Structure 1
Amino acid sequence: MIKSMTGFGDASDQIDGMKYFIEIKTVNNRYLKTSVKVSEVAAFMTDEIDKLLRSCINRGTVNFSLKIQSASDQGLFDIDENTIQAYIKKLTTIAEQNNIDTRIDITSLLTIPGVIQPALPDEQQAEKVRESVITMTQQALEKLDLMRTQEGKTLADDLIANCDAIAQKLDIICQKSPLVVQEYHDKLKKKVDDLLAAARLELDSETLAREVAIFAEKCDIAEEITRLNSHLAQFKAFCKENTNSGRKLDFVTQEMLREANTIASKASNELICQSVIDIKCSIDRIKEQVQNIE
């Protein structure tokens, strides 16, 4: 069954006094585009997370975020005390040499680049964090997949309903199409007979037959109807596949529209023209929905 490209999944866990929150959001995109945002504590996992996302998702924009909060008094950062001591010593020396009466603001020192560093885990902690984050990511991906699958089913039902509507209009066109030539023959004959009646002339039956044959060839839409019916069958089959059918469905939709336009250009009957308009409206709805299919 087809899947939607729009979805959301999340997961959370607590590791050594730290709370980890993962969110995965996906939206439409013609190609696959991933964005992985993690704190510096888990920055070493960025590539691994990206590979995991790409192995599970084939198309769409994927936004992954990992947030960390402290669940205890343990901080998420370290202060480089040696660097602060060096700044204080240097500033004190400069003040004494220049007879400057100054007070050093410790808060200002904390804003100096390099003074505050993220509390990076050691090798053992890093491995524990990696295993937990990967597990949480898989859990979030499962939720995401469930949501995309459920929405995909809704999309499939709507797409098939539109295909059925197109098929109904094609049936009307099929029934009306053979009568168009006969109607043209009768109208043409009546019009010519009326014009020739005053001149007391008769129309050659072969000439009338030739004109009708030319008209019949120009307005023949049997091939277009057959191809459009074939495209409808292909479209429905792709909707039931378990593979990623978004691009296939997009291509078939374009072909459906092309056949509908050809029928419209050949149509010379009001009922057929109205049916083609209804068909193109259904195809437009299909095109809009297909853009959200993986």
Structure 2
Amino acid sequence: MIRSMTGFGDAAGEIDGVHYALELRSLNNKYFKATIRMPEQIAGLEAELESALRKSVHRGSFTMTIKMRLSDAKAASRVNDEAILAYVDHLETIKTKIDDSNSVHIDLTQLLALPGVLQPAEDDETIMNKAREILKGLLKEAIVKMNQMRVIEGESLAADLMKHRGAILERTQQVKARASVVIEEYHDKLKSRVNQLMARAELAVGEADLMKEVAVYADRSDISEEITRTIGHLEQLEQIIYRDDAEPVGRTLDFLAQELLREANTIASKSNDAEISRAIVEVKSLIDRIKEQVQNVE
């Protein structure tokens, strides 16, 4: 069954006091495109996560958003004793150079705002190493949910495509039935008109000459091959829609729609019959709807 390229999946989990939330959205795209938004501490995992995503999908525009929330204990910064002592020693040195009458008060709380004094409880590499496995697991879970939605959307697309396919087949059968009648009508009209013209001149035209002209017209307006190919394309369309593997078929369906349109244009150019022309106009309109729909098929 075909799958849509529109979907959403999310997952969340916690490890060592750190809570992670991952959201995955997909939209139409002819190719694979991934946009990943994540905290700077774990930005080094972007390439790994994109690679894992690429292995599970084929095409589409994907937006992955990762949020990370640390518990109070994990969020608490560590005081760098060496840095703060270095600042204090420097201030003491400056104090000795100042007149003793001027007292200098060192506020340790103010020192906390100086560069290098407060440091994260864990460095980025440690945080990233801990986040790697849980994020890969959350990504798998989000992909499963997203694909489930894409399958449901695909079922709706399949029903719509099959409706248009059925309408095209019905009109193609009408054209096929009408095509054989058109030749007979042309023969009768041609014979009637020629007889009228020849009657005025008191001449006669042989049936063989008429049949030769009709044969030329029939050959020039023959659309049997185009009708046969159109029906074959419609059969292939149904087979692709209901194939039982997960291979992407969007581009194949788009190509098939182009082929259907080409056959319809050829039939329109060959036929001079008003009924066939009206039917082909409807067929081309239905093909355009198919082309619009398959743009959202993976």
TM-score range, shorter chain: 0.7 to 0.9
In the alignment, which residue of structure 2 is the partner of 1:152? 154
CA separation in 1, counterparts of 2:191 and 2:132? 85
2:168 & 2:158 partners in 1: Cα distance? 15
Q: Which amino acid aligns with 2:22?
A: I
2:169 pairs, out of 162, 167, 170, with: 167
Do the aligned residues in 1 keep the contact of 2:42 with 2:124 (CA within 8 Å)? no
Cα separation, partners in 2 of 1:127 and 1:185, compared to 1, 3 Å: same
Structure 1, residues 60-118: CA drift from partner, whole Å, max 9, x if none? 1111111112343542877878779989969x97xx99xxxxxxxx79x77x8x88876
Contact residue 74 and residue 121 of structure 2 kept, 8 A: no
**Partner AA of 2:277 in structure 1:** C
The answer for the alignment partner of 2:237 in structure 1 is 235
Mean CA deviation greater in 132-141 or 115-124: 115-124
CA distance in 2, matches of 1:67, 1:207: 84
216-225 or 270-279, which moves further after superposition? 270-279
Identity of matched residues, %: 40
Structure 1 residues 11-55: Cα deviation after superposition (integer angstroms, max 9, x where no partner): 112233332110111111111112222212222322221111001
Instruction: Indicate how the Cα distance of structure 1 residues 124 and 74 shifts in structure 2: closer, same or farther if over 3 A, else same.
Output: closer
Q: Which residue of 1 aligns with 2:213?
A: 211
Distance in 2 between residues matched to 1:264 and 1:190, nearest whole Å = 26
Whichever residue aligns with residue 18 of structure 2, its letter is M
TM-score of the two chains, using structure 1 as the length reference: 0.85
- Choose the corresponding residue for 2:282, options 273, 278, 281: 278
- C-alpha contact (below 8 Å) 1:40/1:118 kept by paired residues: no
Structure 1 pair 118/38, CA: closer, same or farther in 2 (3 Å)? farther
The unaligned stretches of length 5 or more in structure 1 are 98-105
- Cα-Cα RMSD: 3.0
Alignment correspondent of 1:31 = 31
Q: What SS does the corresponding residue of 1:24 show, helix, strand or coil?
A: strand
Tell whether 2:131 aligns with 1:129.
Answer: yes
Cα shift at 1:247: 1.3
Q: Is the 8 A contact 1:2 1:239 kept in 2?
A: yes
Segments of structure 2 that go 5 or more residues without pairing to the other structure are 99-109
Give distance in 2, aligned partners of 1:250 and 1:185.
Answer: 40
With 12-21 and 144-153 compared, the bigger mean Cα shift is at 12-21
Distance 1:207 1:259 in 2: 32
TM-score by length of 2: 0.84
- 2:106 counterpart residue number: none
| 1:49 matched to 2:53 | no
Q: Residue 197 of structure 1: CA displacement?
A: 1.8
Aligned residue for 1:156, secondary structure, equals helix
**1:13 corresponding residue in structure 2:** 13
